[in-house]
Structure 1
């Protein structure tokens, strides 16, 4: 079942008030999961055997639901592709949510400080005006704008996130949920056009904190984050920053490292197994590369997803190698749904506290120690807070 929920400002604008608390998109997901529990049997489904799956922000949302008490008991496992809820590409800080809300209201020329009045003005505005304001906001913030946020509980809303995702995870929330956690070899190559559009290189030159993950920026004092940024600049950039250098950092800090750390955290928790993979298959025909006119080696954001979910909006020529890869990835998801493990033969082991993953560059299992480079990358980001 493919689900729909409110997104962007409709789903995640937060004024931290009873009328606009934030996280409405996640609240929609919980509502739907409750509907599935009540109605799946009428459609031949089993409400006691529900799998969540998502890509990118969808994967982070699915991971958030594994952590949220509001979704407890509503599903059984989760398949996370290129996105997790912790140490990731967004910040759940109410300070960040307030900043974004300010950008949005300014773009709409709403100046009232009475948030009930603000709510009443927002609901009267045409949708095209709201969409135009949202575009202004995301051009200001870059890759993410309206995102999940730690909420103040209100009586008329189901609270989704009463604490930071990192805190919920550390408390053991959702550790009984089996996970598959995946990332690709060249995640941010796919979003290069967007990074160019918002002039990421200039943003780094203007504010070096741009090289840090949003979570770090909103979790530490400014003197500490400044030192962290200097460490990152020294590792990833030679002199004047370039787009290629930032894309490498973007891939590692926003996607690869968070996925690896989630797998390690799950192993350390003693909870249900988590199975980690790195997807590096280079398709003979890549919808992403063709549609965006991109050329790069390896696999970018979306590419493992498109091996499982068919692209109907773009003509895809036949390829025996690509079809074999599609069959392999589809079998991984199907096997996980049926058995709580993606491996039919047991050759793909659950993540342990050691640094290991299933390296997928073709239709075969290659489970073992991570590359030396990936291990060193993880150690670097782990050391960032040692300032």
Structure 2
């Protein structure tokens, strides 16, 4: 399909021209794809903090999505961009904005993609659908790519390679937004940072870093946050060194020698895959953010006390882990292992039995034909995301930050693609909401039904409302109430029939938090 050119924009590094994706009498929208926000992290810049892009002469044509960061194909997440080229030269962002470049500044939504810190791209989220959705709703949308896996999160635990390079990339992109977004009609003082899964964890973590002060003003963590057990570690140095030795064949006596060898290695050797097996069994990821003494100068609990209490809209899907565990060869031993993983190591046998009975009751009520599978899914979802989400809400309430909670409960299996056949999941699983926020297939391409369009309009309006006003309600409405001390699990169920509910999972996660304390 042919597109006309957008107006030429002057950024701080040079002129760019994108393409006009919507050109109607009453509405126009433009896309600027592949804008460099940092220098390519190649050669000596590998395993270093990102630095601003160089200036260029002439007009840069920004009409193609950038290459994704080097990564291995994920069967769960990469159906929509599996054939897109990958490169270590990946520090680019996309901007989608109204074609009316007037003095009226629009709120900005900056999105960080997920993928377990190991995979993902901005290409997967499309372009025209964003223009026809969130931009039409009145936002300027920025989609950020960052370094992944070894390139983004390898750490020796010392100054040779402190880690968190993917997060430093995101900070550099946010700084670019502050400098340049006004040229696209965006309001630099009205920025919402949003992310899903690992991207949600990044968004929440960045809100706690003193380096992010003033770069954004509200947060939307989707299915991931700073409290999830896989979002960060105090250190990954030992794990990274073992990976370098066992998988890459790198043996070095010092951190300096180790990093010198890794810098000489071809980038494609450093590609990693999302390890969903590790995630569901250990609730941890190998390459992930670390408490490095710089980006995060203290443990998360201490950073919380000093960070500004920003408005939050946090969300989950109905059954987050619904596609992570196939329904095959499951036994009571699997069930017992999943339940025990939730408990402290010194928990009694009676506690394990009581907990198993509780999950069995839930499973038999919700999905009796696949009860053992459903027990595993419910327990694993609680362990790796649900309980952490309730912890974030408790903290927001305690700090006096406006906190809105949603649970996405609409599911068309087509939005996930062939992966949906791996498990008997009839409730919205991890990633199911993405198609409806970005107005098109993200995990897999598919054709929207009337119901899909209806849910997408609801989701896009909700996100736009919060980005504009720190409140997801439509103007003049107060039907969606924020969480408070008496109702920490109060949430809006978002789907075909939106409805307020006063408890989340019948208070199960709050009881878990009380038990752990």
What band does the TM-score fall into relative to the shorter chain? Answer: 0.7 to 0.9
Corresponding residue for residue 164 of structure 1: 299
The change in CA–CA distance for 1:201 and 1:306 in structure 2 (over 3 A counts) is farther
Cα distance in 2 for partners of 1:70, 1:228 equals 40
Counterpart in the other structure of 1:308: 437
Say if 2:318 and 2:408, in contact at 8 Å, map to a contact too. yes
Unpaired runs of 5+ residues, structure 1, are 153-158, 213-223
> Residues 163-202 of structure 1 correspond to what in structure 2 (within 5 A)?
163-169=298-304, 171-175=305-309, 177-193=310-326
The whole-number CA distance in structure 2 between the counterparts of 1:245 and 1:33 is: 41
Tell me what 2:491 maps to.
Answer: 358
Kept in 2: contact 1:266–1:274 (CA 8 A): yes
Are the counterparts in 2 of residues 236 and 246 from structure 1 also a CA contact under 8 Å? no
Indicate the residue corresponding to 1:8 in structure 2: 149
Q: Is the 8 A contact 2:153 2:287 kept in 1?
A: yes
Deviation at 1:50, TM superposition (A): 1.1
Matched, 1:278 2:413: no
Q: Does the C-alpha gap of structure 1 residues 137 and 277 become closer, same or farther in structure 2, counting only changes over 3 Å?
A: closer
Partner of 2:380: 250
| 2:265 corresponding residue in structure 1 | 125
Query: Which deviates more, 259-268 or 332-341?
Result: 259-268
Worse overlay, 274-283 or 287-296: 287-296
Aligned residues: 357
Aligned partners of 1:264, 1:102: CA distance in 2, in Å? 37
Residue 185 of structure 2 is matched in structure 1 by: 44
Q: Are the aligned partners of 1:104 and 1:137 in contact in 2 as well (CA < 8 Å)?
A: no
RMSD of aligned alpha carbons: 3.2
Among 214, 237, 257, the alignment partner of 1:73 is 214
TM-score of the superposed pair, with normalisation by structure 2: 0.62
Task: State which of 160, 165, 168 in structure 2 corresponds to 1:19.
Answer: 160
Shift of 1:9: 1.2
Alignment-derived partner of residue 226 in structure 1: 345
The 5-angstrom pairing of residues 84-123 of structure 1 reads 84-94=225-235, 96-123=236-263
CA distance in 2, matches of 1:189, 1:24: 31
Unaligned runs of 5+ in 2: 1-141, 360-370
Deviation at 1:353, TM superposition (A): 1.4
Runs of 4+ in 1 over 6 A off after TM superposition: 136-141, 199-205, 207-210
Q: Which residue of 2 aligns with 1:347?
A: 479
Cα pair distance change 1:185/1:33, threshold 3 Å: same
Higher normalized helix content (fraction of residues): 1
1:363: Cα distance to partner?
4.3
- 1:187 CA drift (Å): 0.4
Structure 2 Cα separation of the partners of residues 231 and 163 of structure 1: 38
Equivalent residue for 1:382?
Answer: 514
1: CA distance, partners of 2:445 / 2:303: 43
TM-score by length of 1: 0.82
Output the CA distance in 2 between the equivalents of 1:136 and 1:34.
Answer: 28
Cα separation, 2, equivalents of 1:126 and 1:62: 30
Residue 415 of structure 2: aligned partner: 287
